[in-house]
Amino acid sequence: MGTPVATSDDPYVLTADGIKEPPKGWRASLRYLGPGLIVSASIVGSGELIATTALGAQVGFVLLWMVILSTAVKVAVQAELARWTIITGKPALTGFNDVPPKIGRLSWINVLWALMALSKLLQVGGIVGGTAAALSVLVPVGGEPLSFTSLAVWTAIVVAGSIALLISSGYTVIERGAFALVAVFSVATVAIALGLPFTPFNYGGEDVLTGLTFSIPVGALGAAVAMFGITGVGADEITFYTYWCVEKGYARWVGPPDGSEEWARRAQGWIKVMYKDVFLSWVVYTVGTLAFFIMGAAVLNPQGLVLEGNDMIVTLSQMYTDVIGDWFGTAFLIGAIAVLGSTLWASIPSWSRMYANLMATMGLLDWTDAKARARSIRLFTVLLPILWGAAFLFINSPVVMVQIGGVMTGIFLPAVVVATWYLRNTQVDKRLHGSKAFNALLVVSSVAITLVGIYSLLNVFGFSLG
């Protein structure tokens, strides 16, 4: 397969000349944060704009507690898997393939990942479709707004534009683009959510308290589980976060894992930087998630408006036009394109890396060969958007597509938990295990994720728990 390229500027190859001392404190660490921004860009799209708002529209404020739980409970697993990555320099699917038993060359974890990836063709296809729908309403092409012709033209444009922008983009470009896209729409949406009490769609402390009663209304359990799977960090974000931690440089700066005290000290320092990165991204996407849910509960639910089919984008725009006025409809559509586009901006390079890594675990390429790895990533950067666009045009229902992906993500989450604990116990130096408080949070996170995954699996086979 060729000679691996082992240079210090390849983040996936750890060499002594790549070592860098970790910063201390928040101020010094800020310039080294960034992987979490890409995660936030991925999350501030299908989860917030579609799934969370749809749940708020369906049930009102009563599941506000689930929104908070779904964003908070997975963070410990995300950080623990990233810890393993920083220590070993390996991305998630490489580690997943070490978890027994194996089916041929693949671990059962990676077999499940491949099945989840198939469902994600629908979910990310829904994001492509939502973006195309917003563009179709804003500028109809070849027919009426949301007509098949207009949607098909805009889908092709979204797919081609995404490929052109990302085919040669490296980590720095992706990180900066993610930051810009997340900042613009999140700030506007939070401002509007906070301004709702001063409009006819006002809400107060009683509504918020109702949403913190830890109850699930009849008929909303399935939607709640789908939201749990898709909001906050899902199984896919937990997985691809490891790739961005490597490409940012965390593992390379720690250096080869020689077991020395100096190595352990550097690892601990860069793990602390990763903690800050995870925390900052959690704040960003939690605030955004709450804002979207509150708008769905306060504006759409009282009017009995439900997100369905391609009319989703028109219904969502009512959240803004009803609050501010018709003139804001255009501004909303532009904002919706930005927020859905942020998911595509993060998803295309993230999924391309994971697919390429799966090929490596199957023996089809040498992951440490930088040129072969880059060629494979470019291949999937072209192929995946085309498949996502085709999936949307075939099914033509963004909300359902996103929710299917959410359920499958919920099913895969327990497998991520199993893999994380296996790698922690077999490949992480005990000197670098987290604090007692972190480990307690990891246990709680793991149990909650597993229970929701079990429910999702039972639900797929027709067993209902309420």
For residue 43, the domain's CATH number is 1.20.1740.10
Identify the pLDDT of residue 300: 78
Identify the pLDDT of residue 5: 40
- Tell me if 1 is assigned to some domain: no
- Tell me if 4 is assigned to some domain: no
- Strands 102-103 and 106-107, bridge-based pairing: antiparallel
| Residue 174 CA, distance from chain mean position | 14
- Tell me if 5 is assigned to some domain: no
Cis peptide before 101 (omega within 30 of 0): yes
Other C-beta atoms closer than 10 Å to the C-beta of 260 total 11
More confident residue, 434 or 399: 434
3-state secondary structure of 47: helix
- Given the structure tokens 């080294």, which residue do they identify? 32
- pLDDT band of residue 386 (cuts 50, 70, 90) is very high
| Residue 52 CA, distance from chain mean position | 14
Q: Which domain holds residue 258?
A: 28-460
Kindly report the CA angle at 402 between 44 and 212, in degrees rounded to 5?
Answer: 65
Q: What's the domain count of the chain?
A: 1
- Tell me if 22 is assigned to some domain: no
- pLDDT band of residue 308 (cuts 50, 70, 90) is low
Identify the pLDDT of residue 249: 95
- pLDDT band of residue 13 (cuts 50, 70, 90) is very high
More confident residue, 329 or 235: 235
- Tell me if 3 is assigned to some domain: no
- Tell me if 242 is assigned to some domain: yes
Mean pLDDT (whole number) for 172-184: 83
- pLDDT band of residue 292 (cuts 50, 70, 90) is confident
3-state secondary structure of 102: strand
How is 369-426 classified by DSSP, letter by letter?
A: -HHHHHHHHHHHHHHHHHHHHHHHHHH--HHHHHHHHHHHHHHHHHHHHHHHHHHHHH
* Max CA distance (Å), the chain: 67
Buried b (16+ CB within 10 A) or exposed e, 148-186: eebbbbbbeebbeebbebbeebebeebbebbbebbbebb
- Tell me if 71 is assigned to some domain: yes
- Tell me if 334 is assigned to some domain: yes
